[in-house]
Structure 1
């Protein structure tokens, strides 16, 4: 035997006497598994493939041959003498998956020597069957606006191969889509289940009016559709698009106050999908929504509606699946409550009171009786008609009044009324709609005509003397006029006014409506200097116009004289605050402003200053002209505020004050300096590449120092040892140019320019320490441990070291913040490497 592989060996057996030449040849073509004694065995054999040898059992005396029994199916056997177990044909997994045989060895007389043993042949499936659809053609129906991804039909295919293998694992897909007038597919198929559903595009665009039939060519492949040698099949699927069932009904009209037994069905909705759950929700929050919906989509009104309470309802119907997810878009339901005539007219007033003058002519409008009806406007249900039902008293005759039936306007029917005949009439007005009626009460007062003028009790009230500081609101005179018209009417009420002598409305007159007494009051402050005397003429009138032929005369006029006495008043400034802006560099004795005040009595005014703490200003006591008394300095105080005092020359006790505010504008008068908040040092020995930030400052406004220029003084040692490079507008880097520095303090001469107008330049000697550094990158100070107490210099050094450490950390935080801001605004400077280096430098 020649062995090959781990499972089979090739056989090169010569022909035996018990085998024919063709059998021997066949046996030579197949491989043998390991030979061995008789025992239970299992074989795994792929279906198909033709004849083959499975195994050779070896004989053990006294056995001389083998025999088999069981499920041989005419193709499985054993060569009795050699013990070769073989298959003389092809196995078929679809016909039989397992064959069980019994093999035993026998002696020369045919008696069993060993066995029987069970030989089990497991047939392994190969992919030799294509998938097949269970229908030759499929038909399905989909509703427009159906939910995307919700299946409306299935296709189903089977494969006779082993379902536990890829051979029978099927994958569905859509090969063709007819017609296809969108780039995106209108339908999709689940590649595992064969479920066909609309895509999002299909859910939106499917419309039976545009295209009611589609044909899909659906393909199914075995091997999960993952290999090129898979078997495939296809089928046509014809899909009919039908109109959506999910539609909002037309506006629903419900008559109010229905007497039907509720709930009453008013409409029905139907989802495109079966088994959905219907629900309603309101557009506006109501105490209770009088509508409900059944599980079948029937919408009910649950109680009678009242149009006067609410005339329209808007709510939404939704359909949900079992998980609570919306199946379709909500439908809006509109309900309009129709009016019925269920409201009687209502008088707007319990009693309508009207007035009519006794001289009114026939046909004159007296007033309007107002009634309302809560039924729907501009319909017969709310149309009102008016009719006078009765008149009390009927004196001097009936039917003195007429009412317009559609407007409720009351008019005199004919002649004028006379108060002597009756001062009051009571009418009952009948107001009706098509079904109801209401009585409105009307009371008509006949009022006296204004044929009497007011007459003053005296024509001249003399004079009164008042100090000019008499408070506003003071009553200075009481006046009285009488009117013989009917009391408590517009004809007898008196209105007093200043007819002459008061052009500025300095006085007002208030009237007591019950007594017609007038009270003259001060309305505006008196001023002796402006108006020392008032010659007033007061007139008395009625709010109602006089009847024709009657006019006001001198009896309705009264004279009154007011004398104003002078009171000494303090000076008055032209304004409470005097402000101006000057440059801080103006010379001494420069005029900055002029303040002005006057004395009401005409006295001369003297000026002085109070609160001039810096002695910057002086004032001409006679003219109010304010000058600079010394040089100004914006950096000391930018807004300078003091008080100006105006005093009467004859009476120093009479004085007034006003504020003087001086805004100082900046000039470039401060030289730039180096900020010395923290010491500048480099660690000894200098290794090269170090640098430190230095900052320029200037006391002037930012306008003048927004950009500083840094440079080294033109000195040999300075330029040989140091270099300066720009960092930003206010900072620069100082770097040593070599490493050969001693451990000491160096003076580095730096020229600063503030670029102001004009620019100022300053030479500054910056002290830079080259020192041994501690682990915190600060100068290290050695302590003389031989002495129990440090010297004063050493104590100062220790303190300096501590302050350096603290200052270094604070400054590091400041520069880190500056660094972050600069990163946001622009790119990093070329010589700034990273944050670690910046921390080291600071």
Structure 2
């Protein structure tokens, strides 16, 4: 692959006019051989900041490679060699390479080992090059003469085979490639070159380009001495194919300076891909200026590189200005189209017209979308099922839109289609392109094209009278539309036969059946049967062009069953009015019920169901209601002047039926309650003030007109009431009580007041109000002292209480002082004996208890019950049983004389101690004790035995010399002699 343009081996001379034109833009072209190491390398002298018109044109012309550009480029080449004469026709230049860029051979499906396929022709322009051929397919090889043969047997070929043949010079870096396609006999295959750019993309190989810095004196003017134009030179891009197999490093271009013959030049490149990430892809020989690519490129990772070439002398000084190099990675078809999803879900309504859009599938190709490598085309491989036709859908090859082709979609026949869609790049060319597949699931959505149909034309049922929410019958229906959708859900209507609205039809959401239900009670005595007409439809309207079925209408016959109906009170509840205070035994009303069963003669009886105050009774036969107590409107059982009682009427039918009636008695108020004074307590200042008044009112349980206005007055007895107090009426319901005298001693006073209502006749009540008279502050409020005084505690009582408290505190203090003094006297009293003789045993606590016994085993028989008392008696003192009380006679302790000598008290105590030490019956008795576990970590071992007589290396005999006080300790550690 090369740099994007082609130069021939011969010299190229252009006409004088073209030279003059190119001289203005600073172009110097020659084809002299530079050295033997790089034959055929063409130099291009580039003047910086000048626009290389012809070079750019040739580069772009061959890169596009269409017929027009080829012809236009050829017309610019007016001379074929330096020795050609003006006006002579150009001889086509010789170009090393394969004679064809693409070979197509038709072969059979079975290819034998060593079988020759074809011979590729390579032209070296009489250079006598040594060229080697390599095949990209391991199943095929190429002989030195260009014959392609089968390396191994290939059996049963199913698809055409395509591979590359590469020619490489053995002594130079040139590489040429051609494509070989083996087409199967009888297999359709397209023309090898339908697009000319595909030839360029794969098979054009360019000569190595030399990019040369112009000398400084050439940058000022052109060869003709004309003034240069101030333009930047445009270096043509270098095109490198991706996924090249090498060998690497592979030379791309050569960078040279005009001063390389005068001074030593060192070349370098910088930029992404050279010294910047991803670094190491390109490098340059610092001496020769040869630029190489070191590894295969991937256009999908990076499509282009921008490098800068530098030329410096041996001292590092810049010799030339940097040159910008643009490297473009040529795309290869190395990526398959990838669908965004492996499974696509779409839907289309049944009955859709041809051309209806269903869904869209999308596949992307990582290759260059501007070339055929990235141009994806779609097609449908298969459709399942094939009903009603195998090709119900088609796909737009460019957009991936799937549409219907024909009519006839019916969800009731086919509810889902499975379509395999293939995406192929290379514009859908199956021979050259790469493909991928995805699955499209197309669901046929339901429309209401099937009206519901009742299974029978007539339904029947029975219903008992006076029953509600009873299902009479179920109406069954058939609908072929999608279940549990608006197109399937049934809606039932009663169009005739039920003018009173006794029935309704509810839809069962699971079975879609219509449940004919009674919502108003039916009466056998009025209607013994009903004839209904029912129509069924769907929640959704029928699709256009679909008519309702005759099966959507049916008749329903309903029979009413006679049952024993309960007696009914004509007026329920029944309201009557009476004055309260009606005496017991008064007849209020005859509360009778009627039996609705006219065709059956039955007897009605009555009973009381609810009578909260137990004021009423009812006659069992005729329903007459009589009072049993005085009716009181002020009772807690009366609400809003109404007393309510319920009664039961039942017949003697089978089964027995009963009905309930409610009697409401409105009680008219009479003046039977005297008013009561409010408030019952108050307080007032001891000295009369303008605001020292008590507002009073009254409460009456009766209602108007037997309540206010009230009359308030003070009684004439006792006389002190009217002498000290006065009362004045404020309104019909309120009055004020205040002091008549300027000063009244503090205290509590009970003042009687007579209150009368306005009833006919009026009722009066003598009520007492408790008034606290107290001293007040400047604001007219009772002070704390005054409040206490008003409560009945005088100054003397308060002083007496304080004195009692002081006396109690003094007694407690004296008791504490006496206890402290007694404690000090007890501590100062001398002891009875000399402290030096007062020898006492103490339990000492040691942190270290030793390492324990050497032998942890011990004899449990030492703790067992002795066989006889003689054994205990005959044992030495060091070994005896002390864990229980012995049965022998207790020892006799010495008795102190009645008048002991003061000096004998010590002897007496010592004698008693010795006797106690030798007494085997003296308590306390030894026993097995259980000690709590106190945790691990102690350096001492477990105390497993208190008797270590089995250990021969321990001698505790010296304990016997300590005296009788330590005899028990000696017995425990001495062990005895009879073990």
Q: What TM-score range do you get, normalising by the shorter chain?
A: 0.3 to 0.5
Structure with higher helix content: 2
Which structure dedicates a bigger proportion of its chain to strand?
1
TM-score, normalized by length of structure 1?
A: 0.34
Tell which structure's C-alpha radius of gyration is larger.
2
Length-normalised TM-score, structure 2: 0.30
